Amino acid sequence: MTRAQLAELINVNPQTVGALERGDHYPSLDLAFRICDVFGLPVEAVFSRKPFAPLSTELYARNDRAQGGAHVRHEQ
């Protein structure tokens, strides 16, 4: 999806989408929900106070934690 397409869907200027991506603008609750509606995702999946880690990192970290947890449970 291009910035222009997203901008049209959420009824803002493409410059505003760029500003959101760069972190130059914090969206209002209304705009945040409009963006989430476009992607069909909850707010916490689209916006975060900290930069998102790569998906692979999160996925492998979760697998490691699961395996680690299983290992601990096995030892017990």
Partner 1 sequence: MSATNSEPTILDRYEDFRTRRFLRHEETYANALPRWRTQHRRRMLVVGIGASLGLMACVSVVCAFGFRQAALLWVPATLVFFPMWLMLQIVLGRQGDAPRRTLDEFELQQRNNARSIGLVVTQNLMLLPIGYLIIASTTMRDVDAKAALDMAYAGGLMTLAVLMIGGCLPAMILGWTRRSDELAT
Pure H helices in the chain: 3-10, 14-22, 29-39, 43-46, 55-75
| Residues between 33 and 72 that touch partner 1 (CB under 8 A) | none
17: contact with partner 1 by CB under 8 A: yes
**Does residue 29 interact with partner 1 by CB under 8 A?**
no
Alpha-carbon distance of 41 to 18, in angstroms, equals 20
Alpha-carbon gap, residue 59 to 65, rounded angstroms: 10
> Would you count residue 23 as binding partner 1 (CB under 8 A)?
no
Q: Which segment (14-22, 37-45, 47-55, 66-74) binds partner 1 by CB under 8 A?
A: 14-22
User: In this structure, are residues 28 and 20 in contact, taking their beta carbons and an 8 Å threshold?
Assistant: no
Residue 12 binds to partner 1 (criterion: CB under 8 A) = yes
Number of residues binding to partner 1, judged by CB under 8 A: 18
13 touching partner 1, by CB under 8 A: yes
